[in-house]
Amino acid sequence: MMTAARPGHSSHPALVLPVLGLVGVIGTLMQTMVLPLLPQMPGIFGVSPSAASWIATSTMLVGAIGAPLFGWLGDRFGLRGMIVLAMALLAVGSLLAAVSDRLWLMLLGRVLQGFAVGTIGLSMALLRQIWGPERLPMAVGFMSGTIGIGASLGVPLAGVIVEIGSWRTIFWIVGVLAGLTAALIMVFVPGAKPLSRKRFDFIGALGLGLVLMLLMLPLTMLADGSLSMMHGALLMGAGFVILSLWALFEVRLPQPFVDIRLFRLPVIAGSQFVAVMLGFSFITNFMGTITVTQMPVGPDAGLGLSVLGTGLVHLPASLVSIITPTLAGMLLRVRGARVAVLVGLGAAALSCVGRMIFLTDPVMVAIAGMFSSGALNFAFAALPVALMMAAPIDQQGSVNGVNLLCRQVGSSSGSVICGVLIASLIDFNGISGAGAFHAMFGLSLICSLAALAVVARSFPKV
């Protein structure tokens, strides 16, 4: 049975949630703002497109490994300290990327930035400790929604910043904001006494890192064509074998790095599955919008817009992402997590139909993207509440870290599949049909419906 931690105290309690919300937005912005720049990076650094793709891949891999690691460290040594450390690494990494003139220096900066991925899970776990369960739904709903806010704002902000400055300006801005945010956390956010006294499971952590490398690295390399399908399948097969051995090892330990026994709880297992499906749907809709806006105009699909134009089309999705976490929090307090997640997933499924239809009109593309983004962010905001209410209080950080990892796995899988569909069905130098978008948004529809079924079956009625 869970027991609440003793609440922390702040001289400015009204600023705690906005400061932690800023952490979530900045941590997500650093992932998405670089995406519109990727086509320019081979020319900037004089490397191949495959080599330049590591600018995005390195951050994603480190984030997937770092989220559960920082979650465990937060449970053991203090959640606030790990948030500050992650923000400091993000600031240093951003500054290195801003001054980089070689690819290796850019990659070093992006690796350091990747540790900020876990800050949202750490922030939600900290709120659970310092505020207790009664204020959790609204606060955690808002924090989880910052993932969508940061992801949606990244593209339009990058377009505007590049127009008035340069690609380096993006990293300077993120670096300064990260440093200021670290300072704000130390001043306004109270700490909480660590509740875990577990010894560090080095073999478990190392094994999880190896599994993630073997599963996610082939996905990213398949997406850019730098790995054959056969070699990718072999690596991923080895990853699944090691994953099975790792799970057997972890379940036998009294103090494991990831407590596999918690997955016996339907809510926790279901939440992780839903996170994978949401991650897949989110990246599919995100890449679908960028692709349809930048591809040449055609009778069935294509808008032929610039990076700035892409940002403007994406702007309604960014704005609705700011509103939906609050709406989700209101429904969470009245009807609970199960109903809130079901509403978000149901709306996401319906929006996929509109996304498959509207592919030639910028206004309708923007509206369809807005509804899709709003629905997914609504579900994103509500999901962690169900997870955290079921997890032990001394494992909040690690459980949230695994949930973020599941989102990354879903996003990586979606990125690969979308990349294959785009490469095989879309000609950026000519006119293309709508087949790629029907496939992408159709898969997103399937993911939403699958998650809907799991939530209906595994989440308790309140």
- Give the mean pLDDT of 293-301: 87
Residue 267, pLDDT above cutoff 80 = yes
pLDDT at 167: 87
Position with higher pLDDT, 175 vs 217: 175
| Cβ–Cβ under 8 Å, residues 16 and 190 | yes
Distance CA 154, CA 315 (A): 10
- Predicted model pTM: 0.78
CA separation, residue 175 to residues 22, 89, 146, 222 (Å) = 13, 9, 18, 31
pLDDT at 10: 53
Position with higher pLDDT, 353 vs 156: 353
State the pLDDT confidence band at 71, using cuts at 50, 70 and 90. Answer: confident
Largest CA distance in the chain: 62
Look over the chain and give the mean of its residue pLDDT values, rounded to a whole number: 83
State the pLDDT confidence band at 6, using cuts at 50, 70 and 90. Answer: very low
pLDDT at 278: 93
Q: What does the DSSP 8-state code read for residue 102?
A: S
Residue 227, pLDDT above cutoff 80 = no
Looking at residue 72, its amino acid is W
Residue carrying the six token digits 């606060």 = 139
Percent of the chain with pLDDT over 70: 91
Position with higher pLDDT, 439 vs 144: 439
pLDDT at 333: 82
Looking at residue 233, its amino acid is A
State the pLDDT confidence band at 113, using cuts at 50, 70 and 90. Answer: very high
Distance CA 344, CA 326 (A): 13
Residue carrying the six token digits 């900020």 = 116
- For 395, phi and psi rounded to 5 degrees? -125, 20
Which ranges constitute the DSSP H helices of 100-166?
103-114, 119-131, 136-164
Q: How many helices (H) and strands (E) does the chain have?
A: 17, 0
Query: For residue range 332-376, what is the model confidence (pLDDT) as tens digits?
Result: 888 888 999 999 999 999 999 999 999 999 999 999 999 998 999
pLDDT at 2: 39
Angle separating helix axes 136-164 and 266-294, nearest 10 degrees: 20
pLDDT at 134: 66
pLDDT at 84: 95
Query: For residue range 173-183, what is the model confidence (pLDDT) as tens digits?
Result: 999 999 999 99
State the pLDDT confidence band at 11, using cuts at 50, 70 and 90. Answer: low
Residue 414, pLDDT above cutoff 80 = yes
pLDDT at 196: 64
Distance CA 150, CA 23 (A): 10
Residue 452, pLDDT above cutoff 80 = yes
Q: Which of 127-141, 193-207, 401-415, 443-457 has maximum average pLDDT?
A: 443-457
State the pLDDT confidence band at 82, using cuts at 50, 70 and 90. Answer: very high
pLDDT at 424: 77
Enter the CATH code of domain 13-191+257-458: 1.20.1250.20
Q: What is the CA radius of gyration of the chain?
A: 21
Query: For residue range 96-108, what is the model confidence (pLDDT) as tens digits?
Result: 999 998 999 999 9
pLDDT at 4: 42
Question: Comparing C-alpha atoms, which of 215, 240, 243 is closest to residue 410?
Answer: 215
- Calculate the CA 286 to chain-centre distance: 12
Q: Which of 264-268, 282-286, 335-339, 442-446 has maximum average pLDDT?
A: 442-446
Distance CA 449, CA 280 (A): 13
State the pLDDT confidence band at 223, using cuts at 50, 70 and 90. Answer: low
- Give the mean pLDDT of 272-285: 91
- For 228, phi and psi rounded to 5 degrees? -75, 160
State the pLDDT confidence band at 7, using cuts at 50, 70 and 90. Answer: very low
pLDDT at 160: 81
